[in-house]
Amino acid sequence: MNKWGNLALVLMLGAGLALSGCGGGNNTGNTGNTGGNTAATNSPASLPETSGTSQDTLILGRGGDSASLDPAIVTDGESLKIAHQVFDSLLEYKPGTSEVQASLADSWEVTPDGLSYTFKLHPGVKFHDGTDFNAEAVVFNFQRWSDPASEYKFEGDSFDYYDSMFGPDGSRVIKEVKAVDESTVQFVLNQPQAPFLQNIAMTTFGIASPAAVKEKKENFKNEPVGTGPFVFKEWKRNDSITLDKNTAYWKEGLPKLNKVIVRSIPDNSARFTALQNGEIDLMEDLSPDDLSTLESSSALSKIERPPFNVAYLGFNFKKKPFDNVKVRQALSYAVNKQEIIDAFFAGQAQAAVNPMPPSLWGYNDSVKDYEYDLDKAKAMLAEAGYPDGLPDPVTLYAMPVSRPYMPDGKKVAEAIQAEWEKIGVKTVIESPEWATYLDDTKAGEKDDIFMLGWTGDNGDPDNFLYTLLDKDAIPGNNRAFYVNEELHTLLTGAQKETDQDKRSELYKQAQEIIKADAPWIPLVHTTPLLAGKANLKGFVPGPTGTEYYSEIYFE
């Protein structure tokens, strides 16, 4: 009896252990097929295809999936990242910058009145479906985006970026797009638009194959066809997107990779584990906490995205006493930006002085920030009529979600709360769920001061200053409800001015006005971190969050 019992006991235990993964014998045995994987423990396990020889497939890990693969109907960065590989626009940004350069259009001419742009298109370019790229294709795309009754605007689609960059229906900037001949296309504008070329270069205005749009209809958003370096192959939602090399790509020698697989791995630390384990080659959005691990690994390298964003605290002008400039200035003096950067950004940020990043043209270097000075803050508060600090607690909205410009809003809010406490300003931090948060700050009824941020869409100061602080952006992105007529005149004037030097001057003046009025406390411009295998070369991170994978190769 006992013999049977003991045997059963052993069998059951053994089976249980094997199932629970403790039975390592099986697994180690089978990793043998990785071809003598005796790498040092701190280097990632090399996968069969990658060991030894240089690889030609890139696996990228990112936090979220695309919403759609048709760039015209999306506004989220994750969707645009993929679209950037499949589509080309007439113009593009020089890698790593927000400077415009030729792409599908080789050259362009602008009339002196700024009302007509003529583009010469690159000859001999073909879409992935084999059809020709030409002036007619450009016309087709722009008509599709601008005509609200277009038969190629499918149910539920809206061309938001087109509306926001070139004005909504009824006040369009672009009057007409004409095919002059096979390789020449002319844009006629209703009014001059200074950032026109910057806008045209956006990924969202990538040129789609008219034949594919007509044929695939609604399904085009799942099976995109452009002229880009990579051809769309497969999309497993929330899992991966596979892109193949465009062997007939019109830019010679590109792309260098044979295949790109973009995986969605929502958890930051799991993504980092996957990178260390060799399951992916490149990852986006590294947590500042993982920076030291990354830096100590010789198999991995750190990649920094140029700072092109701003995180800020906005004062709600609808609430007293934040309509008082002295109060706003006083609180501005009482924020220790450097300490916040050291504590919560692992140094991967710089203190913000203006509402736009210093890398953008038109940035005003001579604007002086409100230095951290609690005595001065107290004095200013007294001047404003509050010698003992503010009588009521202030409601401070802190972001409940992690954003590229603000990894942990609540912690930063707590640090600021502690500083303000010292000058007699009590704060209550609130972090409602993100959708509610955006709703509340837009209505401006519940928050006194709110935390928010912005990543630039294109390389134009207009996309920061006008979009976020002009009175036209109420209700909307101007959640401070800040109105300054002089600023409005400057910003709208700058939109119509076509001379970049003159525009630059106007934006510099605008930044001075904004600093004096202090509708915001600009906090930081962050440097988003990526990490990749050390032998991954040719990746140039773009400021707006999209970049070509066509130059990437493995050494």
Partner 1 sequence: MNSYLIKRVMVLFPVLIGMTLIVFSIIHAIPGDPAETILGQKATEQSKQALRNQLGLDKPWLQQYFNYMGDLVQGDLGTSIRTKTPIAKEIMPYLAATLELTAASMLFATFVGVNAGILSAWRQNSWFDYTAMIIALIGVSMPIFWLGLMEQLLFALKLHWLPSIGRMDQRNPVETLTNLYVLDTILAGRWDQLWTVIKHLILPSIALGTIPMAIIARMTRSSMLEVMNSDYIRTAKAKGMSQFLVVYKHALKNALIPVLTVIGLQTGALLGGAVLTETIFAWPGVGRYIFEAISSRDYPVIQTGILIIAFIFVVINLLVDLLYAAIDPRINYK
Q: In angstroms, give the least distance from the CB of 160 to partner 1.
A: 5
The three-state (H, E, C) secondary structure of 153-190, written as one string: CCCCCCCHHHHHHHCCCCCCCEEEEEEEECCEEEEEEC
Cα–Cα separations (whole angstroms), residue 243 to 128, 228, 344, 445, 555: 12, 11, 36, 47, 21
Give the number of other CB atoms < 10 A from CB of residue 109.
10
Q: CB nearer to partner 1: give 222 or 500.
A: 222
> How far is Cα 308 from Cα 293, in angstroms, rounded to an integer?
25
Of the candidates 167, 172, 165, 180, the residue with the CA atom closest to the CA atom of residue 108? 180
Closest by Cα among 24, 86, 357 to 212: 86
Closest approach, Cβ 134 to partner 1, in A, equals 29
Q: 269 vs 489, which CB is nearer to partner 1? A: 269
- What CA–CA distance (Å, rounded) separates 190 from 424? 54
Instruction: Return the number of the residue (6 or 489) whose C-beta is nearest partner 1.
Output: 6
Give the nearest distance from C-beta 45 to partner 1 in angstroms.
Answer: 4
- Please say which residue, 48 or 123, places its beta carbon nearer to partner 1: 48
Nearest CB to partner 1, comparing residues 280 and 331: 280
Q: Closer CB to partner 1, residue 57 or residue 359?
A: 57
Residue placing its CB nearer to partner 1 in the complex, 162 or 507: 162
What residue type is assigned to position 374 of the chain?
Answer: L
The minimum distance between CB 228 and partner 1, in angstroms, equals 21
Identify the CA nearest to 55 among candidates 445, 535, 418, 388: 535
Q: What is the 3-state secondary structure (H, E, C) of 30-73?
A: HHHHHCCCCCCCCCCCCCCCCCCCCCCEEEEEECCCCCCCCHHH
Least Å distance, CB 60 to partner 1, is 10
Q: How far is the CB of 33 from partner 1 (least distance, A)?
A: 8
Smaller CB distance to partner 1: residue 1 or 149? 1
Q: To the nearest whole angstrom, how small is the minimum distance from the Cβ of residue 178 to partner 1?
A: 26
Instruction: Tell me the β-bridge partners of 58.
Output: 260
Cβ atoms within 10 A of the Cβ of 156, count? 8
How far apart are the two ends of the chain, measured CA to CA in Å?
65
For the beta carbon of residue 376, count every other beta carbon within 10 angstroms. Answer: 17
Which are the contacts of 112, defined by CB distance < 8 A and separation ≥ 6? none
Q: For residues 40 and 181, which CB has a smaller minimum distance to partner 1 in the complex? A: 40
Nearest distance from residue 130's CB to partner 1, in Å? 26
Measured from the CB of residue 527, what is the shortest distance to partner 1 in angstroms?
22
What count of other Cβ atoms lies within 10 Å of the Cβ of residue 535? 14
Q: Are strands 553-554 and 349-351 parallel, antiparallel or unpaired?
A: unpaired
